[in-house]
A and B are shown apart, each in its own frame.
Chain A
Amino acid sequence: MAVEVKTKETNEIETEQLATGCEAIAEAIRLADVDVMAAYPIRPYDGVMQAAAKLIANGKMDVEYIVADGEHSQFEIVKHACAVGARVFVGSSGVGWFYAFEAIAVTAGLRLPVVAICGNRALDDPGAFGTEHNDSLAVRDLGWLLPWAETAQEALDLALMAWRVAEDKRVSLPVAIGLDGAFLTHSQHIVKIPTQAAVDRFLPKFDLGDRLLHPDNPITIAPQVDQDWLMEIRRQNDAAMRNALGVIREAHADFKRIFGRGGESPFLDEYMTDDAEVVVIGQGTLSLPMKVAIRRLRKERGLKIGLVRLKWFRPFPTEEVVKSLRRFKAVGVIDRDYSFGSPYYGGVLYNEIRSALYSQEKRPVIVGFIAGLGGREIEQPMATEIFEKTMAAGKGDLAAGDTCHWIGVRE
């Protein structure tokens, strides 16, 4: 599906940089005029730390840059800074993300719009630096919004979207942007850096309103509650998460209007799906080798195959996903994560997609693939295998369908 690039409404000149995903995020921190960021090193998130520190050192950015004594403190610092009205940024990776888990878990309940990145990394031990999505996905049930970026450009764009959506009063929830370790965090791409004026038009000043913790507005945030209160708190968060879908749509439309980028749908990026009979769906950078395979297999074998890339995992765009996927005979879901002991021994996304489509009378065959764990490359023979298995399932090969396949694992 072709992406129509709209003319920008002004003639402001964007600059181009060769930037990693982490550097692109640092540029977004500068453009968003973040007040407080908290840092603690862990690969691959630490690329943002370094890039942001350099911007400050060079006098290009003014942000309260707090190096914490660990990830838990990191997330506590921004949570509290956010409560007193600071626009904040934070991030971590892999087990560091887990070390912050207590703070992460309570941030959404307090409705504090913290923006974070999770530089996706396998959960060691044993030490592995490569990308795996289980770190981000561990917070999927906690009320965090979870978008995934494909490129450094999208990392920057999603970060600007993240503050806008998170800080919207109808949402007021934290966002954690997933960036694939190495492939995105540490690979340089050409990135368009928008002008400050354009960003200022897109991103209003952060205003917590009457929820601001300030001596002039004496309130208590998070008093002790018991069983008489929790369900109401959860239901409120649920409403905010539901609101987020509409707010993302609004923000996406504005983003396209102001910056001229962003694609058709805020939630899905479809590639060569117009005539496709079989597609694969996944998140993050695994789309890149799959697109190569689609072009190659279409050319070599005339296969009618395509790709749907999911941009937001939470809130899960059920309507859009159902509308898109029910057109196809078979859908292969590629997970760069795994859920041990889950239904059909599948990945997290696999089971979410199956669940989303269950209500449909006519639904495609769904095949799960576990691929690229721990940062393993998805090479072309693997991509071919994924499409072949999905197509076989579409033709009624039950051995291939309704199950999950490990791709590229040594027997």
Chain B
Amino acid sequence: MAEERSVSIEVVYRGIFQKTLAQRICRSVVLAARKRGHTGTAFARYGDSPERNGVPAKQFAVVAADELELEASMAKYEPSVVDVSIAVDDTLVKGVESWAWYGRQPIWKPVRANGWLLVTSDKKPDEVLAQTDKAERPYTLGIVPGGASFAGLWVYKDDHTDFRVLGALAKILPQWIALDDAKAASLELAKGDQSAVASVQYGYDATTMRRVKDGEGTSGHEVLQFKKPGWTKMRPGVIVEARKPGERNPYYKKYGARTMRPVVNFDTCIKCTMCWLDCPDECFEVTPEGHYEVVYEACIGCGICAQVCPVKDCIVMVDELKFTDNKDKWQLWKTDHSKYNSWFEDMSGVSADPKKGASGSVPPNANPAANAATNPGADPAANPTTSAGGDE
């Protein structure tokens, strides 16, 4: 390979929650590379502002051999090709669909052939790969140990996700980010805290790499494309058709924002309508029996339904990476009741029969909003929102 003159890195993150984390990673890349005399730029994809909670967004770092080389990467919204893509939440590997990108895209889409996809996750590489779109060119999947982090949010303690990622980058891009430089930069960024250096070393040592061959991955995800019209085709006055009653937006389905999904125990549902009423995205459809089923293509996983549901463990928020599709489950409940219930128990970790109580532990929670929702929300007595009677 000819001598590379620049390297482009993108960080895919959850809007708002991980914005500062993504920014810290991009800044640390440039500052570490600067130690070797390289130059660089760190920037956000401005078009995603104002970001919404959990919506995939991107920040970038470009490091170049000199200022002239860097000019090609300046004044861009986003690079079309990157050497490394970093997903700081493993549910993002199901594909990203942001406000500005028109349709779900495979997480690896901008990664060049033989580039890297780094994912912060506490799962094994193959578990992550099983939910990643089928590769169209080879790349290396790197798992940086650790769950989805909210360290950038002011109410969360720093957990050094940024430094672990920097350590992993030092491993794959030593010509741009030397390990010693990464350590030196982290020490400065952490204002002299030596544990930052240890975190860089840990990211360097503990990141596991897995070569991904052409064709590996899942083909289970829906492909969404939106063609932008020319000015002669657009309606004058910036007019777009409103959705017809009952119709959902065919282009923008929003599920890319989801880190956890609600699953419903139809046996215990009392048809009170609370989830249907309170869902901010009108995601619930009424079944012929009068139950409420989630339309998973429209659900962002905010957890409000689980919070307002007055029945314990009737709506449970579950790690999104456990699911491979967006199909509704109501049909299964109707046709094979016991199979549905064992599926529900397997996914949610709670018993489908309320008399038996919880059968397992609630999985670790990735979404702070959902966190607030699942834990106290299932018990109406413990939930001031529901015990107070909601809107009444």
Contact = CB atoms under 8 A, between A and B. Distances in A.
A227 B99 CA distance: 12
B239 A219 contact: yes
Contact of A218 (B77, B235, B238, B241): B241
Contacts of A222: 237-238
A233 B231 contact: yes
Interface residues of A, number: 24
Nearest to A208: B237
B238 A172 contact: no
Give the interface size bracket for B toward A.
10 to 19
Given A227-B77, A232-B229, A232-B230, A211 B240 contact: no
Given A226-B47, A227-B47, A227-B77, A236 B240 contact: no
Contact of B228 (A111, A220, A228, A233): A228
B236 interface: yes
A225 interface: yes
Interface string B215-230: 0000000000000111
Interface in B230-252: 230-231, 234-244
A110 interface: yes
B47 A109 contact: no
Contacts of B231: 231-233, 235-236, 239
Contacts of B240: 219-220, 223
Contacts of B230: 232
A233 B238 contact: yes
A102 to B, nearest CB: 16
A227 B49 CA distance: 12
Interface string A225-256: 11111011101100110000000000000000
A77 interface: no
Contacts of A112: 237
A281 to B, nearest CB: 33
Contacts of A227: 47, 77
B26 to A, nearest CB: 21
A404 B207 CA distance: 71
Nearest to B48: A226
B286 interface: no
B242 A219 contact: yes
A66 B48 CA distance: 38
Nearest to A112: B237
A221 B239 contact: yes
Contacts of A236: 231, 234, 236
B100 interface: yes
Interface string A17-31: 000000000000000
Nearest to B233: A232
Nearest to A226: B47
A111 B239 CA distance: 10
Contacts of A109: 237-238
A317 B129 CA distance: 63
A172 B47 contact: no
A232 B232 CA distance: 8
Contacts of A226: 47, 100
Interface string B64-79: 0000000000000100
Contacts of B229: 232
A211 B244 CA distance: 16
Given A227-B77, A228-B100, A221 B228 contact: no
B98 to A, nearest CB: 11
Given A110-B238, A228-B228, A232-B229, 15 more contacts: A109-B237, A109-B238, A111-B237, A172-B237, A211-B236, A220-B239, A220-B242, A221-B237, A221-B239, A222-B238, A228-B102, A229-B228, A232-B234, A233-B234, A233-B238
26 contacts: A109-B237, A109-B238, A110-B237, A111-B236, A111-B237, A218-B241, A218-B243, A219-B240, A219-B241, A220-B239, A220-B242, A221-B238, A221-B239, A223-B240, A225-B238, A226-B100, A228-B100, A228-B102, A229-B238, A232-B229, A232-B230, A232-B234, A233-B234, A233-B238, A235-B231, A236-B236
Interface of B: 47, 77, 100, 102, 228-231, 234-244
